[in-house]
Amino acid sequence: MNKKNVYLSKEVRPYHDKFVWAYLNSDLDENQALLKKFKQEGIPYIQLLDKNGKVLDTEGPTSPAGFAKKLAAVLTKAK
């Protein structure tokens, strides 16, 4: 739902080139080790990391406006 309605929304589109995006399908066995490493807490579960891999924030189910606000805050925090 987020992938289709939130990530592609007009509110989030301005942030597409400001982040490196990686998606892990939690249904695939080969992703289980990474999901454990990043401590997945439900679906959807988004971790926003700095360039060194430090978690700056997390997000679960959200609206386009809510996610855009979170992305803006993370960019400010990362500076």
List the CATH code of the domain at 2-78.
3.40.30.10
CA distances from 48 to 6, 13, 19, 51, 76 (A): 15, 16, 9, 10, 12
pLDDT in tens, 6-57: 999 999 999 999 999 988 888 899 999 988 888 887 888 899 998 888 889 9
What is the pLDDT at residue 8? 92
pLDDT band at 67 (very low <50, low <70, confident <90, very high): very high
What the block records as the tokens of 47 is 């971790």
Separation of CA 33 from chain center: 18
What is the pLDDT at residue 65? 97
What is the pLDDT at residue 66? 96
